[in-house]
């Protein structure tokens, strides 16, 4: 659960940096996907600083794995490997659908799961 926070914080910061450099309104004209994805960047910075520092080794391990996965996607785009991109996107789409099917896309306490 830590990595999405780092990614959201980074994407918002990158968008703002780009906006400053290009003198454009990157964030103002971003679409709903940007808003939805970066929602967690509004989280408490003090708490997340402490969480990241307290879990430094695990966070660094996960960041390394994420960086490797991101590098694979960069290579696929660079080399025009549409099959690799499609396979990754289809796989992760199916995973996302299973998350929703399991009820983990519900804002209710405990994702709306009923307990016996």
* Residue 22 token pair: 């290009």
Closest alpha carbon to 27 in 35, 42, 5? 35
Query: Structure tokens of 46?
Result: 């003090």
Compute the C-alpha angle 38/40/46, nearest 5°: 130
Three-class SS state of 5: helix
pTM to 2 decimal places:
0.72
Q: What is the pLDDT of residues 56-88, one digit of tens each?
A: 999 999 999 999 999 999 999 999 999 999 999
- Count Cα atoms within 13 angstroms, Cβ side, for 104: 6
97-111 pLDDT per residue, tens: 888 888 776 666 655
């Amino acid at each position: 659960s830590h990595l999405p926070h780092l990614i959201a914080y980074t994407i918002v910061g990158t968008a703002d940096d780009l906006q400053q450099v290009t003198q454009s309104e990157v964030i103002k004209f971003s679409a709903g996907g940007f808003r939805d994805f970066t929602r967690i960047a509004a989280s408490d910075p003090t708490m997340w600083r402490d969480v990241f520092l307290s879990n430094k080794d695990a966070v660094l391990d996960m960041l390394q794995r994420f960086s490797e996965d991101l590098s694979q996607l960069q290579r696929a785009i660079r080399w025009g490997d549409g099959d690799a991109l499609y396979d990754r996107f289809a796989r992760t789409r199916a995973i996302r659908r299973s998350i929703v099917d399991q009820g983990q896309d519900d804002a209710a306490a405990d994702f709306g799961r009923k307990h016996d």
